[in-house]
Structure 1
Amino acid sequence: MRVDAAKPWNQGALDKSRLDLYCSRQLRLRETMRRLDVPALLILDPIDIFYATGARNMLFFSMRTPARYLLLFAEGPAFLYEYFGCEHLAADLPTIDHIVPAEGLCHTSSGGDVQGASKRFTSQILAAVGSIDPTIRTLAIDRFPLSAIDALRASGFVLTHSDRVLQEARMIKTALEIPYMREAMRRVEAAVQQMEQSLEPGRTEAEAWADYHHKFMATEGQYVATRLFQTGSRTFPYFQECGDRIMENGDLVCLDTDALGYEGYAVDFSRSFVCGDATPTPPQRKLYSLAREQLETNAAALAPGIPYEELADLAWPIPEAYQESRYYCVGHGLGVSGEFPNIPHKVSGKPYPLSGTIEPGMVICLESYVGCREAGEGIKLENQYLIHENGVEQMSIYPFDQELGV
């Protein structure tokens, strides 16, 4: 059953509810921690910190530099250890109770004293845990440097991985998340429209892709996670990155948005176009027709309560000629990044590797790529869906290319 989208919120309502959004996510995360018996999270990943608190600071820098981290208790406060000189950035967030200067935990950020920084970092965590609940000896952590992990273990902490608790929390969206995801979609679709209008022979891939970025960044987008924009012969095989190839009249053009957009929410849909005013060739139209068939067949099977394995069973049977280059999964979850689950294809004679079901509150992206060596080209399509209690809403409504097929 298909479900229509709710009326979008205006900017005033989005601005007014932003802090409530952050609190709702933290509440869900803490509920998940309690359910999984995780007393405390110690996390470094900036996207996880943002999900848990709404605190954002130098996202790309923080991805490669371990110099800010969060200690969150299932029953207790949140300690943000912030990059030195940036403590003011999160001062007004109701999701954070204490802000403390962080230790740099790599060779560069520690000033060459990784071991000393790791010991000071561990002392920070010991003091915070001791002040809240001295009986806590287990921490769920993410990708801290080995020296920091060694220091935590040497102090007596038992370390587990935080990935499961974070992914299970993020998998189901709170009611407040959905209006922000819809607004992120609206803004990214506007950026794709600006890019599509710039698809002219004689321009490079990078020049056209920059038009997408321009509108995306101008409407408070965060970043594009991949460079998946290809044209002509570079549309096969897939996963080739945007480059300096000059587009020609009649080229196929493939775009995967892969955007972390408004308020940090991911927008992930794909479209394929024809460059210029050339009439698509019969092979191009055949590829497009097959890709549409795959996407629509799989979308018809997507429903609340369907097991992942059953969805894979009902998925479009990919013809042998296109098996070698198929997309790696039927679909995947989405939220503040690509998220659980990655739903694998069914492989004859092998047990299905993923248990679980599609649940209300999930956002699922269904993938299609159809290309082959004989054609020397490929078509990439993808749509983003919100799972409701009584059906499925297609969130990505950007039009398909009418020249390639309806």
Structure 2
Amino acid sequence: MIELIPDAGISQQRLDAMYNYRLERIRAVMAEHNISLSILTSPVNLRYAVNFDEYLMFQSHIPTAHLFIPLEGPVTLFGASQRHHANVDSYQGSRFATPFDGGLDLSRQSQRIVADIERFIRDHQLHNAGSRIALERFSPLISQQLVSKGYRLTDGEALIEQAKLIKHPTEIDCIRHSIAVAELGIHKMHTALQPGITENQLWSVIHQVNIAHGGDWIEGKMLASGQRTNPWLQEATSKVIEAGDMVAFDTDMIGPQGYLADISRSWICGGGRGTAEQRDAYQHAYDEIHHNMELIRPGVSFSELSEIAFARKKEYREQRYVCAFHGAGMSDEHPKIYYGEDWQGNGYDGVLEENMVICVESYSGVKGGRDGVKLEEMVRVTANGYEKLSTYPYEESLLK
């Protein structure tokens, strides 16, 4: 039986205030960008907007629900099977614009959705001069029909990412709770790590803890051992973990209330000092994480963070992680702050603000080497710097 961690007194009243804040954030961004109607399908963004929590992974690849958020007027949810969702004023039947539900010719179903959109705009007088519709990932047939009818479209995903940036205090507490659940799972994984266990068996431990607490899912199977830790991004398999193997993982856990716990640690199976290669990689990742956390403060730009980030040793540069920092909330979120080597091709600018949540990343592994180390922390941007939200201890025996 999995013991349960208390939810830190997050009452329904506090949750309701958080739901109101999230909807207000969306509408504030809509007003800023002259958007009269937002239409959402992403399960993460439906959760953010109205706490939609039905078959979220199914919704991610066979969307059966979509949400209309007008700048002013009734929030309308199409296709929900339940009627408890926050701030939804009206429920309508589903319009199935997927091959699974609507067949291989989606033209008729797309026309019905477009007719719904036009009726909604007309009934609520949303077609103001110069206004736009923010649309998430529908069939391109829908976008094409709307454009042919003269509607101006913009990307709904970018709109919601902007809204998500600044967290409500209850969001921060929900993130703390997800982290606490994840760290209980990490502790149980650490205890279960013995020679002879497989990567999949070890990884299943944190899943059980998450589900026992009402968590949602884990984004991947980011656990590897031994030579499979180098290079990174090799997911868990049936490989048997042996004594002396480095074991590295990244939780990527969507926990209770839909909030992310994104923490990485690396251990030696059986403990001990490990090899010189293992200790050097661990120290390098540890130094990077701690240097880069100290750079976090409101007002610092993404480009500046990229420029002043930890100076990685030459031997660890080629296999650097995909970013040095990234946002977090209900999943990995904007921004993604690249290493200097990747900035020219991929980087974009912006500024850190108070109550953003940022993940600080490091993967350290020499190309052609046996072992790699993955470490990651979650921090909140405070008025004067940062607050570290993740707390799981490091392996002192691997630090020089």
Structure-2-length-normalised TM-score: 0.93
Letter in 2 for 1:120: R
- On the 8 A contact 1:19/1:93 being kept in 2, the answer is no
Q: How does 1:364-379 map to 2 (within 5 A)?
A: 364-379=358-373
Match of 1:146 among 140, 150, 153: 140
Give the alignment of 1:164-203 within 5 angstroms: 164-203=158-197
Q: What is the rounded CA distance, in whole Å, between the counterparts of 2:168 and 2:118 in structure 1?
A: 32
The counterpart of 2:229, out of the listed 224, 231, 235, is: 235
Map of 1:104 onto structure 2: 96
* 1:191-231 C-alpha deviation (Å, 9 max, x unpaired): 11111111111111001111111112111111000111000
CA displacement 1:85-125 (0-9 Å, x = unmatched) = x1xx2x23441111101110012211445211111111111
| Equivalent residue number for residue 21 of structure 2 | 24
Matches within 5 A, 1:6-21: 10-21=7-18
CA distance in 2, matches of 1:26, 1:348: 35
Instruction: Measure how far apart 1:175 and its partner are.
Output: 2.4
377, 384, 388: which one aligns with 1:394:
388
Cα deviation code 1:153-193 (max 9, x no counterpart): 34432221112211111111122311111111111111111
CA drift of 1:38 comes to 1.4
Change (3 A) 1:351 1:242: closer
Cα distance per residue 1:300-322 (max 9 Å; x no partner)? 12222111222222211111111
Residue 385 of structure 1: SS of its match in structure 2? strand
CA contact (8 A) 1:329 1:345 kept: yes
In the comparison of the two structures, how many residue pairs are matched? 394
The whole-number CA distance in structure 2 between the counterparts of 1:392 and 1:12 is 24
User: Aligned equivalents of 1:43 and 1:352: distance in 2?
Assistant: 26
**Cα pair distance change 1:38/1:323, threshold 3 Å:** same
What CA distance in whole angstroms lies between the structure 2 residues aligned with 1:13 and 1:302? 27
- Name the residue aligned to 2:258: 264
CA contact (8 A) 2:200 2:236 kept: yes
Structure-2 change in CA distance of 1:45 and 1:329 (3 Å)? same
In the aligned structure 1, how far is the partner of 2:342 from the partner of 2:348? 15
Q: Which runs of 4+ in 1 moved over 6 A?
A: none
Give aligned-pair identity as a percent: 29
Q: In 1, are the aligned partners of 2:166 and 2:354 still within 8 Å (CA)? A: yes
1:363: Cα distance to partner?
0.4
Contact kept? 1:105, 1:148, Cα under 8 Å: no
Counterpart CA distance in 2 for 1:10 and 1:327 is 33
Q: Of residues 86, 107, 123 in structure 2, which corresponds to 1:115?
A: 107
1:41 to 28, 38, 44: 38
Distance 1:248 1:289, change over 3 A: same
- TM normalised by structure 1 equals 0.92
Call closer, same or farther: CA 1:239–1:64 in 2, change over 3 Å: same
**234-243 vs 44-53, which deviates more?**
44-53
Q: Identify the residue that residue 67 of structure 1 maps to in structure 2.
A: 64
Deviates more, 1:13-22 or 1:356-365: 13-22
Look up the match of 2:239. Answer: 245
Residue ranges of structure 1 left out of the alignment (5+ in a row): 1-7
Shift of 1:56: 1.8
Distance 1:18 1:275 in 2: 41
AA at the equivalent of 1:130: R
Looking at structure 2, the residues matched to 15 and 349 of structure 1 have their Cα atoms a distance apart, in angstroms, of 43
State the alpha-carbon separation in 1 of the partners of residues 346 and 113 from structure 2. Answer: 43
Aligned with 1:306 (options 294, 300, 315): 300
Counterpart pick for 1:161 among 130, 135, 155 = 155
Give the alignment's Cα RMSD to 1 decimal. 2.0
Cα–Cα, structure 1 residues 148 and 358, in superposed 2: closer, same or farther, change >3 Å? same
1: CA distance, partners of 2:352 / 2:298: 5
User: Could you tell me which of 313, 326, 334 is aligned with 1:319?
Assistant: 313
Match of 1:342 among 310, 322, 336: 336
* Other structure's SS at 1:403 match: helix
